[in-house]
Amino acid sequence: MPTSQNTFYRELVIDLLYRLRLADDLFCQAADAAMSATSLGDLPGKRVAVETSRTYAKALQVIYADFRHVIDGLHVAFPAEASLWQWNEPDGEERFAQGLERLHAIADGMQARLNVELLKQEVRK
């Protein structure tokens, strides 16, 4: 019979997985905005790309803060926050895309670790 502590832990893991899935929608929006800004090269599109990237990064940082309360031992280095001036650099588009890829890799890593925890709980039952 599961204890209330195990049930609470399981619910925390499920909540974090749900929030990561919601954050994945933010990643899709940021990636779409980045591709649009790269294709069109206009300043408003670049602003939208930077803002959606920041929104995605902040959402992941909030999720990661809660993730650290549930899972010990996983430390992540988030990429530097995206800025509008990056687009003016010779490799700005590439660096912007790499930052988004890094954020997505962080989200995938957290999701994988949480799925392992969920499977451990299932095996213990």
15-47 pLDDT, tens digit each:
999 999 999 999 999 999 999 988 888 888 899
Q: If we measure between CA atoms, which residue out of 3, 9, 23 comes closest to residue 110?
A: 23
- Higher local confidence (pLDDT), 18 or 91: 18
Checking if the pLDDT of 1 tops 50, the result is no
Computed over every residue of the chain, the mean pLDDT equals 89
pTM over 0.85: yes
Domain that holds residue 29: 4-124
- Domains of the chain: total: 1
- Report the CATH number that the domain containing residue 86 is assigned in CATH: 1.20.58
d(CA 103, CA 101): 5
Checking if the pLDDT of 85 tops 90, the result is no
- Cα distances from 125 to residues 44, 69, 110, in angstroms, run 53, 23, 23
